[in-house]
A = this chain, B = another copy of it.
Amino acid sequence: MHFTKARIAALEKHTRTHFINSLSGFKSANLIGTQDSQGNTNLSIVSSVIHLGAHPPLIGMIMRPHSVPRHTFENILATGVYTINHVNSAIYQQAHQTSARYDKNESEFAATGLTPEYLNEFSAPFVQQSRLKYAVKYIEHQHLAVNGTELVIGEIMDVYLDEAALQSDGFLDLQAIDTVAISGLDSYHSTNKLMRLPYAKK
């Protein structure tokens, strides 16, 4: 099937949103934990977390300032810290529910039944039920003028993980800890490992 640019532009708006959101492929499923300067907690599911580099360890995510996660972005700018928590198959429905439009004084933790957890005096909340999570120190954001989104860049600090994930070469077996993947806006998937492949040589 062939969808021309014109045919895509003519799709009903929600249809186009589903269609375009499916094109990048499978996405990461993460919960971003923050709090404001008064200590009110916020939790937001994000499918745009992306690896930026290992030396130094950097992580990025795309945020839409005028959509639901704006509390997250405001809290990150106000406090300079956040947590990233992998979504697993036991909590994906609660994780998805954090995308509802809760007011700033309503915590998504309380609303969804996920448990805030504070570790080693880091001031942003982790998700107790997550089996792989890490503290992140905000570095900077880059405004993408092309569509008004923000690329938020942070440095990976302390990492907490279920030891079932850790392999001897440093690889983390995300399938062993039931981390899920997202496709489109709303589809959640567990995974089946095909194979780890060796470093490719000519």
A positions within 8 Å CB-CB of B:
1-5, 8, 11-30, 47-60, 62, 64, 84, 86, 89, 92-93, 96-102, 111, 119-120, 132, 134, 139-140, 142, 144, 146-147, 149, 151, 153, 156-163, 165-167, 169-175, 179-181, 183-202
Contact = CB atoms under 8 A, between A and B. Distances in A.
A172 to B, nearest CB: 4
Contacts of A167: 18
Copy count, this protein chain: 2
A134 B23 contact: yes
Given A14-B170, A16-B170, A179 B26 contact: yes
A166 B54 contact: no
The 6 A-B residue pairs whose C-beta atoms are closest, nearest first, are A25-B28, A15-B170, A18-B170, A22-B172, A26-B181, A20-B54
Given A23-B156, A97-B200, 19 more contacts: A2-B158, A4-B158, A8-B159, A15-B169, A18-B172, A20-B54, A24-B51, A25-B27, A26-B29, A53-B147, A99-B200, A100-B202, A101-B201, A144-B153, A151-B151, A173-B183, A187-B193, A187-B196, A188-B195
